[in-house]
Chain A
Amino acid sequence: KQEVTQIPAALSVPEGENLVLNCSFTDSAIYNLQWFRQDPGKGLTSLLLIQSSQREQTSGRLNASLDKSSGRSTLYIAASQPGDSATYLCAVRHNAGNMLTFGGGTRLMVKP
């Protein structure tokens, strides 16, 4: 059974800092990995999707990497802003099916 873990569970940083969120998964037979953002009481916004054959994806100030063999992904946020405050979730899609397995999320607070 796939298990996805995110560390840290919560993070508070001053505005302008670069930061890294970590995601690890136990079964490396994944189809892809997706990073989401969730604001309080809201749905999920897809940030980046990395195919199993890729090593990284970039969108603006966000960069996600994938090391499938070690079961790890990182989300790098450059020059953080208060508007980045949210919960960040990673989810993996297994080769064998359609379902996504989610990590517990990292609650990020960027202080002005």
Chain B
Amino acid sequence: GAVVSQHPSRVICKSGTSVKIECRSLDFQATTMFWYRQFPKKSLMLMATSNEGSKATYEQGVEKDKFLINHASLTLSTLTVTSAHPEDSSFYICSARDPRQGQNEQFFGPGTRLTVL
């Protein structure tokens, strides 16, 4: 299947700083990527849909000014958690759909563990 990578895999930061997480499709071009958040022992919640060359679409309750998404190329989407606070600590996972596979299956990155002190 298609490969999606995330960087960094783990980050620890101080409260008030901003953190950028990268999501890359390694062997395909993804016009759409998705960002999810997962709390411990909970399922994934969609935060936003990232569209190449246009503004991201955020789910209800997700602050767009808090979670900045930039999808500047067909292989890269970034999520920036601005002025992070301890309650932002979570596991962030991105996914992308491989258009070569008929817009069906989503492939997920390995996730980024964010800890805000």
Q: Point out the residues of chain A lying under 8 angstroms from B32, CB to CB.
A: 98
Whether A32 contacts B110 in the complex (CB less than 8 A), given A102-B44, A105-B43, comes out as no
Report the interface size for chain A: residues with CB under 8 A from the other chain. Answer: 22
A44 touches B34 (CB 8 A): no
Q: Sort chain B's interface into a size bin.
A: 20 to 34
Annotate B14-57 by CB proximity to A: 1 below 8 A, 0 otherwise: 00000000000000000010100000011111100100000000
24 A-B pairs (CB sep. < 8 Å): A32-B104, A34-B105, A36-B108, A41-B111, A41-B113, A42-B110, A42-B111, A43-B108, A43-B109, A43-B110, A44-B108, A46-B1, A46-B105, A49-B105, A89-B43, A89-B44, A91-B44, A98-B32, A98-B97, A99-B34, A99-B46, A102-B44, A104-B43, A105-B43
